[in-house]
Amino acid sequence: MSNKIQLDVVSDVMCPWCVVGYKNLEKAIQELGLEQKVGLTWQPFELNPDMPQEGENLREHLMRKYQISAEQSQQNRLNIAERGKEVGFTFDFYDEMRMVNSRHLHVLLEYANEHGKQTDLKLRFFTAHFSEQKDLSDLKVVKGELEQVGLDAEEALERLSQASYIEQVEAQEFQWQRLGISSVPTVVINRTSAVTGAQTVETYKQILLEELEQES
């Protein structure tokens, strides 16, 4: 087998467009039959690194951060929900929904990566947060999500009390920012080129095919 195409998906669990982008990327890989030719790793990015652990009401947060009205904020969520439907993902935005600090989730995703379950856990977190009205700042909730994908929740959560694992995630985030990544999702291809934003299935297919051509 020739070398795999390495995809680093720089993303935050709190980013709805990261769900849409991944679903289109996944479809592109499947339609091209490249499941065995592509290696995918999720890389950490925090939309709100200074957010307190318990977070902030999503609607109020978006209005403040982007200087938009309640109507614009509502319209944005309707647009995202519509895009979600197109890719087979349910966005259930509700009034009490919160934008929470995601650093602890990135630490756990690194743990999942070591056990071959990183994408499983990432998708579980996306679904819990956006579809199931679960509060991912609550470690009891997070424990249930870890168990649901077959990970040792006690061992994983133990990492959150060890500064070295948190510093490792912060260092990775800094590394990607230093390379110029300032928004998510960003898909980095073989550490040589990158595409930012939730692209269409066709765009991802084109990128993958160009990469295969270069390799051959």
Query: How far apart are the C-alpha atoms of 204 and 216, rounded to whole Å?
Result: 19
At 7 the three-state DSSP class reads: strand
Residue in the structure block whose two tokens are 């959150």? 160
Closest C-alpha among 79, 80, 95, 89 to residue 133: 95
Residue 148, Cβ neighbours under 10 Å: how many? 14
Residue-level pLDDT at 1: 41
Query: How far apart are the C-alpha atoms of 158 and 189, rounded to whole Å?
Result: 33
Residue-level pLDDT at 100: 95
Alpha-carbon dihedral sign for residues 202, 119, 110, 44: positive
pLDDT < 70: residue spans in the chain: 1-2
Summarize pLDDT for 140-193 with one digit per residue, the tens.
999 999 999 999 999 999 999 999 999 999 999 999 999 999 999 999 999 999
* Residues 152/24, Cβ–Cβ less than 8 Å: no
Query: How far apart are the C-alpha atoms of 12 and 120, rounded to whole Å?
Result: 15
Residue-level pLDDT at 4: 92
Strands in 193-196's sheet, in edge-to-edge order, are 38-44, 5-11, 186-189, 193-196
- The fold of the 5-54+101-215 domain, in CATH, is Glutaredoxin (3.40.30)
Residue in the structure block whose two tokens are 């259930």? 92
* Residues 12/45, Cβ–Cβ less than 8 Å: yes
Query: How far apart are the C-alpha atoms of 72 and 178, rounded to whole Å?
Result: 32
Residue-level pLDDT at 2: 53
Query: How far apart are the C-alpha atoms of 80 and 86, rounded to whole Å?
Result: 10
